[in-house]
């Protein structure tokens, strides 16, 4: 579904990513690990098409179509959707109005209930929201869009230990059960690329493949749960060493 080939990206003349190769097959959930500043969010934002990220080499394919030069709205219409690590506040725009505009054959009421967002619907998007509330607001907006590929940038960071179950189960419901669509109108088995540091989201979602991004490039890939254990016990050093020895 998503194929990234030799992707090299710069921002303001600074090289952030180089020769990145990565793919997500239809119905698969892949995970992106890596230390702070590795370029994980930059990669997600490049896939989504944020204009400050300039692709200087390589390409991004989505369902076989080259989307490297497409603007962000066209990518969204094709079925790409992002839950940002740090989304902006939107003064003057109520969450309920944004969700209404974004909704694409979805049933926001179920999502609002699942994510306990009713009391936020009349407030301006993210303005004054706590860290955890922003994550739930972001997930609600994304789920309303009903993308076929979910790009989730640290969905659990800042979410308390009780709400993590709510967020984790909602993500599982979205990816595996079509939670956001009434009846059978929604295709099940969505694809996802998830960035996580702690791996908490993987307690709820079955992940198929993991990638480790260091210094702006993919160093290795493999079983995501095994990778997480390795990172927890040995950090990222082994991956870098292993790559250098190849």
Ligand X SMILES: Nc1ncnc2c1ncn2[C@@H]1O[C@H](COP(=O)(O)OP(=O)(O)OP(=O)(O)O)[C@@H](O)[C@H]1O
Surface-to-core class of residue 215, CB atoms within 10 Å of its CB (0-12 exposed, 13-18 middle, 19+ buried): middle
> Exposed, middle or buried, 71 (CB in 10 Å: 0-12/13-18/19+)?
exposed
Is residue 41 at the binding interface for Mg ion, with CB under 5 A as the rule?
A: yes
Q: What is the SS3 assignment for 87-107? A: CCCEEEEEHHHHHHHHCCCCC
d(CA 4, CA 207): 19
Decide if residue 37 touches ligand X (CB under 6 A).
yes
Asked if 35 contacts 214 with a C-beta cutoff of 8 angstroms, the reply is: yes
Q: In DSSP terms, which residues pair with 24 in a beta bridge? A: 2
The secondary structure element, H or E, covering residue 28 is none
Beta carbon nearer to Mg ion, 151 or 205: 151
User: Does residue 52 belong to the site contacting ligand X (CB under 6 A)?
Assistant: yes
Using the rule CB under 6 A, give the single segment among 40-48, 166-174, 223-231, 233-241 that binds ligand X: 40-48
Taking the alpha carbons at both ends of the chain, their separation in whole angstroms is: 29
Nearer to ligand X among residue 80 and residue 99 (C-beta): 80
Segment lying near ligand X (by CB under 6 A), choices 6-14, 136-144, 161-169, 171-179? 6-14
Question: Out of ligand X, Mg ion, none, which partner does residue 196 contact, by CB within 5 to 8 A per kind?
Answer: none
User: Residue 220: beta bridge partners?
Assistant: 212
Sole binder of ligand X in the list 85, 137, 141, 196 (CB under 6 A): 85
Cβ 153 to ligand X, closest distance in Å?
7
Q: Which stretch binds ligand X (CB under 6 A): 31-39, 160-168, 182-190, 233-241?
A: 31-39
Residue number with CB closer to ligand X (85 or 126): 85
Q: What part of residues 10-29 is at the interface with ligand X (CB under 6 A)? A: 11-12, 14, 16
Task: Give the footprint of ligand X on this chain (CB under 6 A).
Answer: 11-12, 14, 16, 34, 36-42, 52, 85
Task: Give the footprint of Mg ion on this chain (CB under 5 A).
Answer: 40-41, 85
């Amino acid at each position: 579904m998503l194929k990234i080939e030799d992707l090299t990206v710069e921002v303001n003349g600074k090289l952030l990513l180089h020769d990145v190769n990565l793919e997500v097959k239809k119905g698969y959930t892949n995970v992106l690990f890596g230390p702070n500043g590795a370029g994980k969010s930059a990669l997600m934002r490049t896939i989504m098409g944020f204009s400050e990220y300039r692709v200087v080499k390589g390409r991004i394919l989505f369902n076989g179509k080259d989307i490297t030069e497409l603007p962000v709205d066209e990518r969204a219409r094709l079925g790409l959707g992002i839950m940002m690590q740090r989304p902006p506040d939107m003064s003057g725009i109520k969450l309920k109005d944004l969700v209404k505009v974004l909704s694409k054959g979805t049933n926001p009421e179920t999502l609002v209930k699942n994510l306990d967002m009713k009391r936020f619907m009349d407030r301006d998007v993210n303005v004054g929201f706590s860290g955890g509330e922003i994550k739930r607001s972001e997930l609600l907006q994304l789920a309303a869009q009903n993308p076929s590929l979910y790009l989730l940038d640290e969905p659990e960071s800042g979410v308390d230990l009780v709400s993590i179950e709510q967020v984790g189960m909602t993500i599982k419901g979205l990816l595996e059960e079509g939670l956001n669509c009434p009846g059978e109108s929604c295709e099940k088995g969505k694809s996802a690329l998830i960035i996580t540091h702690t791996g908490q989201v993987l307690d709820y979602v079955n992940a198929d493949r993991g990638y480790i991004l260091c210094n702006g490039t993919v160093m290795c890939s493999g079983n995501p749960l095994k990778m997480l254990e390795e990172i927890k016990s040995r950090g990222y050093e082994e991956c870098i060493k292993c790559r250098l020895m190849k």
